[in-house]
Amino acid sequence: MIVSRQFDVVIVGAGAAGAITAKRLTEAGLDVLVLEAGPASPKTIKGYDKHLQTFYTAYGKGPESAWPANTNAPQPDTADARYNDGYFVQHGPDTYGSSYTRAQGGSTLHFLGVSLRMLPEDFRMKTRYGVGRDWPLGYDELEPYYRKAETEMGISANVEDQGYHGITFANGYDFPMERVPLSYADQKLGAAVDGKPVTIGSHTAALRIRSYPAARNSMPRGSYVPVGAVDMHDDGQQIDPLMGGRCQGNTACTPICPVQAKYHGGKSLAKAKQQHLEVRAQSVASKINIDPVTGLVSGITYKRYDENGHTTHEAKGRAYVLAAHAVENAKLVMNSNIGVDKDVIGRHLMDHPTLYAWGLFPEKVFPYRGPLSTAGVEDLRGGPFRSQHAAFRFDIGNDGWRAPTGDPDALVLREVMKNKRFGKALREQVTATLSRQVRMSLAVEQLGEPGNRVTLDRRFLDPLGNPRPAIHYKISDYTLKGMLAAREVSKQLFRHAGVEDFSDKGDAKWFPSVQYGGSTLRYHGMGHFGGTHLMGTDAKDSVLDLNQCCWEHPNLYMIGSGSFPTMGTSNPTLTISAMAIRTAEHLIKEFGARV
């Protein structure tokens, strides 16, 4: 065992949460070691470009296609869900459809970039609606950190669009960059449906096609300087990561933004104070070691691998921050058999089970251009119905029917092989159909339930001897009712716009499905894992306090969406980042800044 020198803080995971924490701590002069299980390849332009080439030549081009799995740090792939033959050992009864990526930069390498704040009511679900849990802190306490996270990630939006369902902003604040322009299709859809009513049960809301805050470079406000591609070399050389260009409309946020106009964790790492930072990639944490006398973490055992095999090391710090992902954090804690309550860790696993709705607009709206999406419908994210069923939001795609049906390739195949079209007639058919395609993702809230959990399956070990995660997952009636309501609202929206709904007609790709209320709901995961090591106010039913500090081991922290008691309907990365900054500031206060 090779034992490292003493760092101030050891961070496990170089995704957004770990990278943002490392940046804050090093800026305060604290010495930080970051262990990354996957490769460091995305940190140079050359390495990143290889991932882009991998995407170009990938057959199928799924959400992970630019980021292939690594034998020593395996990862789930959404394509595994169909035959349950991937990294997750799925015990059902329902299929957990989400994935994540183990590489320097983490899953932000292929996230969409939707950066919504949670609603004030999302933090108070138990008090307000009698379901789920309350957070140990509220919106007002997190608001300053949301602002810091929006600067760190480089969020583009206009405050004037974002003050709904009680979301408030500090006086005079606006986002670091102006909103990303709405797509032509968004504008056409908005002209047709804005202000129109939709009804679920006794609740009526007025629709609005609304720009959402995006982690994509747009027009900077004031003195803000957008961050672009990173190019960090082992000899310490790096190009100025400040040279960030605007989004060019590559229509590939997922799986890879070719120009890095979209945020990823590697940008925060590149901007950390390098003299206080050491990043060790291809280093898989396998065990948290506890001092039996003090109960403090004394080190983290990890295995560093290359093409020749691996060596075993122990990383030493004063504090330890697990930022490896909701599933990997829980896996590491369970694999270490430490003092964390075994009836809480790994439980309350959440996602946003998501339905697609797709159809043909009455006129050409020219999709397959622009960022993958630029607008959403946020009007049903909150409301009195939440005591009865889940809330939801829609994301409006700019990529036609690619996600639900595999178009444009699938359409071409259908027209050529089945409908025997060729020549001008083929071209006209392709143009006429693809140009009118509209798609929405209906992302539905899920509450944390103890039966939905991650456990370890020691029958399956990866090459480094780490067990694979097993998933136990059932979508509750609360969420299923929300899925039905979301489907109903999508139908009403399409009717207002004159969109011919194809969601229930053939030709869709395979997706997991669940039966409810006489309907077959075909859903997919959003990659929004949550709840596996949740925060609370009591050690009896939570893993962490409001600083994301472990109740049992006071120098152990776990960050990321695993800490969330509820997820509301927000894509979690912005809240992950805000909470990471808050915890970093807590650590700096504990240790004292050295600058």
Partner 1 sequence: MNMVNHMNKRLDTFLELSVALTGFDRLHLISTGVGPEYLAALDDIISTAGADALLQAFSTLPATDDGTLLVGTILDDATLGPVARNLTVLWYTGTWTQMPEAWRAANAHSARDTAHVVSAASYLAGLQWSAIGAHPAGALPPGFGSWALPPLGVEA
What minimum distance in Å lies between the beta carbon of 152 and partner 1?
A: 22
Instruction: Report the alpha-carbon distance of residue 458 to residue 263 in Å, rounded.
Output: 36
What minimum distance in Å lies between the beta carbon of 247 and partner 1?
A: 6
Give, as ranges, the residues between 200 and 219 that touch partner 1 (CB under 8 A): 218
Contact stretch for partner 1 (CB under 8 A) within 145-153, 175-183, 340-348, 386-394: 175-183
Q: Is 594 in the site for partner 1 (CB under 8 A)?
A: no
Q: Is 417 in the site for partner 1 (CB under 8 A)?
A: yes
Residue with tokens 């270490």: 336
Using DSSP, state whether 563 is helix, strand or coil: helix
Q: Is 108 in the site for partner 1 (CB under 8 A)?
A: no
**Binder of partner 1 out of 157, 215, 252, 567 (CB under 8 A):** 252
Give, as ranges, the residues between 347 and 386 that touch partner 1 (CB under 8 A): 363-364, 366-371, 374
**Binder of partner 1 out of 187, 301, 519, 537 (CB under 8 A):** 187
Helix axes 139-153, 16-27, angle to 10 degrees: 90
Instruction: Report the alpha-carbon distance of residue 121 to residue 547 in Å, rounded.
Output: 20
Nearer to partner 1, 227 or 549 (CB): 227
Beta bridge partners of 310: 305
Nearer to partner 1, 246 or 522 (CB): 246
Instruction: Report the alpha-carbon distance of residue 156 to residue 153 in Å, rounded.
Output: 10
Instruction: Report the alpha-carbon distance of residue 473 to residue 346 in Å, rounded.
Output: 12
Q: Is 78 in the site for partner 1 (CB under 8 A)?
A: no
Instruction: Report the alpha-carbon distance of residue 531 to residue 453 in Å, rounded.
Output: 9
Nearer to partner 1, 180 or 550 (CB): 180
**Binder of partner 1 out of 26, 95, 251, 452 (CB under 8 A):** 251
CA distances from 285 to 290, 466, 560 (A): 14, 9, 17
C-alpha torsion sign, points 19, 23, 24, 29: positive
Kindly report the length of the chain: 595
The two three-digit tokens of residue 179, written as one number: 């909103």
Contact 227, 239 (CB under 8 A): no
Q: Is 250 in the site for partner 1 (CB under 8 A)?
A: yes
Residue span 46-65 as binding mask against partner 1, x where in contact by CB under 8 A, dash where not: ------xx-xxxxx-x----
What minimum distance in Å lies between the beta carbon of 372 and partner 1?
A: 9
Contact stretch for partner 1 (CB under 8 A) within 14-22, 94-102, 402-410, 454-462: 402-410
The two three-digit tokens of residue 122, written as one number: 């999302």
The two three-digit tokens of residue 360, written as one number: 């043909």
Contact stretch for partner 1 (CB under 8 A) within 107-115, 412-420, 439-447, 515-523: 412-420
Nearer to partner 1, 79 or 416 (CB): 416
C-alpha torsion sign, points 360, 361, 362, 364: negative
Instruction: Report the alpha-carbon distance of residue 288 to residue 556 in Å, rounded.
Output: 9
Contact 186, 396 (CB under 8 A): yes
**Binder of partner 1 out of 408, 536, 562, 572 (CB under 8 A):** 408
Q: Is 242 in the site for partner 1 (CB under 8 A)?
A: no
Contact 482, 445 (CB under 8 A): yes
Contact stretch for partner 1 (CB under 8 A) within 6-14, 321-329, 401-409, 499-507: 401-409
**Binder of partner 1 out of 164, 173, 224, 422 (CB under 8 A):** 422
Contact stretch for partner 1 (CB under 8 A) within 95-103, 311-319, 423-431, 500-508: 423-431
Residue span 289-328 as binding mask against partner 1, x where in contact by CB under 8 A, dash where not: ----------------------------------------
Nearest to 25 by CA among 40, 8, 12: 8
Beta bridge partners of 73: 70
The two three-digit tokens of residue 533, written as one number: 């090591």
Number of residues that bind partner 1 (CB under 8 A): 55
Cβ contacts of 26 within 8 Å, gap of 6 or more: 32, 272, 273, 274, 275, 276, 277
What minimum distance in Å lies between the beta carbon of 242 and partner 1?
A: 18
What minimum distance in Å lies between the beta carbon of 160 and partner 1?
A: 18
What minimum distance in Å lies between the beta carbon of 216 and partner 1?
A: 10
Cβ contacts of 541 within 8 Å, gap of 6 or more: 344
Residue with tokens 């990383």: 315
**Binder of partner 1 out of 206, 242, 243, 413 (CB under 8 A):** 413
Cβ count within 10 A of residue 412: 15
**Binder of partner 1 out of 29, 68, 258, 383 (CB under 8 A):** 258
Q: Is 268 in the site for partner 1 (CB under 8 A)?
A: no
What minimum distance in Å lies between the beta carbon of 157 and partner 1?
A: 15
Instruction: Report the alpha-carbon distance of residue 61 to residue 52 in Å, rounded.
Output: 11
What minimum distance in Å lies between the beta carbon of 380 and partner 1?
A: 26
Contact 21, 584 (CB under 8 A): yes
Give, as ranges, the residues between 426 and 485 that touch partner 1 (CB under 8 A): 426-428, 430-431, 434-435
Cβ count within 10 A of residue 273: 17
Cβ contacts of 410 within 8 Å, gap of 6 or more: 401, 507
Q: Is 540 in the site for partner 1 (CB under 8 A)?
A: no
Contacts with partner 1 by CB under 8 A lie at 52-53, 55-59, 61, 181-184, 187, 218, 246-252, 256, 258-259, 363-364, 366-371, 374, 398-399, 402, 408-409, 411-413, 416-417, 420, 422-428, 430-431, 434-435
